[in-house]
Amino acid sequence: MSKKVLVVGGGIIGLSTAYYLQQEGHQVTVLDKSGMDGGASYVNAGYLTPSHIIPLAAPGMMAQGIKYMFNSSSPFYMKPRFDWDFIKWSWHFNKSATKANVERAIPLIRDINLLSKELYTALWESKDLGEFQLEKKGLLMLYKSEAEGLHEKEVADRAAAEGLEVALLDRNQLDQLQPNLVTDIKGAVHYECDAHTTPDQLMGKLKDFLIQAGVTIKKEEEVVDFSVNGSQITGISTNKGAYAADEVVLAAGSWSFPLAKKLGLNIPIQAGKGYRINLNRPTAVKIPAILMDAKVAVTPMAGFTRFAGTMELSGINHNIMRKRVESIAKAASAYYQDLSITEAEIDAAQCGLRPVSPDGLPYIGRTQKFKNLTIASGHAMMGWSLGPATGKLVSELIAEKKPSMALEGFSPDRKF
């Protein structure tokens, strides 16, 4: 049965949800407060990462965050501030950063990433969106220090045990795959299971397809209130109008938390800012890589190379801290021979806000309070990777079909 579905949020999660909902025959309207031409869905590293099986909330992360708290150029920066929601989130994050949480999360992260990679591949093969970059060259974890190498080899062993394709490379093997690396890189872990895309390219094609397919996309419309009748959300008011709804999907990224508050729901999320620098010129980068000691991601995209990174917990804002961008830029010459990032390229850096949950798992599913509300947020650094899977799962819930995977671990009502 066709339903009127309002999707709040026009990032990769919201647009993927709209894609699968329209395929089910629903009348879909996407509402987004921005111009839908920037933010986390556009500035990310473009990775599809089954290899990223360890959640952000892992042992030692909070201690690392506190250590870096007063270093604004560090890879993981928590801005000191008195913000009650941030304090509560930090408390829940610290409680979640346990071995037990990691063990519980690993199969969930693996399965939803593999599902999403299959769906990306199906999108690419279907040509629904036309041609877009989807390359399955894997992901190199490049390390200089023995400590980083040993740590990543442990993760690689676990990934292999989970059935993921992974290879350990010495320096000679590495040079065959990725020439022009500096001499002090000792080796790499190659996650052959991973793939990459160009986010800007795919987002544009996805928007064009949805509009042609009859999906209504409303840009620069900020949700200001919800109309509620008992356990049913009947509509949404924006700064420009009002919309009736049979179903509502909250996929507003870092803004999902304050919007959920309007409904009396507690969906803990903090905005984790990341930065990107584009090099619109030829480089020697052939294979996506994470520069481990610098915590920087590098991706050869369609027509340019992207350097991206950092996790900055400083609230909802798009202020660019130049020190953090410069740290990313320094990594280029520290890992690749004869490659340096110019001042002009640094000046053109952009940022995006990733929605981070306290336990490192996204929120995907219904809430007990409202029968017709589905939450799809909190994906942190895996938002791009998990877009299609999340959209597919949400569409299955709304169509009352059996979900493609169990969703209990992603419940928005879970306790911390």
Task: For residue 93, give the 3-state DSSP assignment.
Answer: helix
pLDDT of residue 80: 80
| Rg, Å, the chain Cα set | 21
Query: Hey, what are 147's tokens?
Result: 């400590």
Q: What is the pLDDT of residues 304-318, one digit of tens each?
A: 999 999 999 999 999
The whole-model pTM stands at: 0.96
Q: What is the pLDDT of residues 51-67, one digit of tens each?
A: 999 998 888 777 676 66
What DSSP state is assigned to residue 402?
A: P
* DSSP string for residues in 183-198: TT--EEEEETT-EEE-
pLDDT of residue 79: 83
Residue 73 makes CB contacts below 8 A (sequence gap 6+) with 321, 323, 324, 326, 327
Residue 62 makes CB contacts below 8 A (sequence gap 6+) with 90, 93, 94, 97
Q: What is the pLDDT of residues 131-175, one digit of tens each?
A: 999 999 999 999 999 999 999 999 999 999 999 999 999 999 999
* DSSP string for residues in 30-80: EE-SS-SSSSHHHHS--EE-TT--S-SS-TTHHHHHHHHTT-TTSSEEE--
pLDDT of residue 77: 81
CATH tag for 4-410 (out of 3.50.50.60, 3.40.50.300, 3.30.450.40, 3.40.50.620): 3.50.50.60
pLDDT of residue 164: 98
Task: List the chain pLDDT tens, one digit each, 416 residues.
Answer: 899 999 999 999 999 999 999 999 999 999 999 999 999 999 999 999 999 999 988 887 776 766 666 677 777 888 888 899 999 999 999 999 999 999 999 999 999 999 999 999 999 999 999 999 999 999 999 999 999 999 999 999 999 999 999 999 999 999 999 999 999 999 999 999 999 999 999 999 999 999 999 999 999 999 999 999 999 999 999 999 999 999 999 999 999 999 999 999 999 999 999 999 999 999 999 999 999 999 999 999 999 999 999 999 999 999 999 999 999 999 999 999 999 999 999 999 999 999 999 999 999 999 999 999 999 999 999 999 999 999 999 999 999 999 999 999 999 999 99
Per the CB < 8 A criterion, the answer to whether 382 and 52 are in contact is: yes
pLDDT of residue 65: 64
Query: Hey, what are 332's tokens?
Result: 């280029």
The domain locations on the chain are 4-410
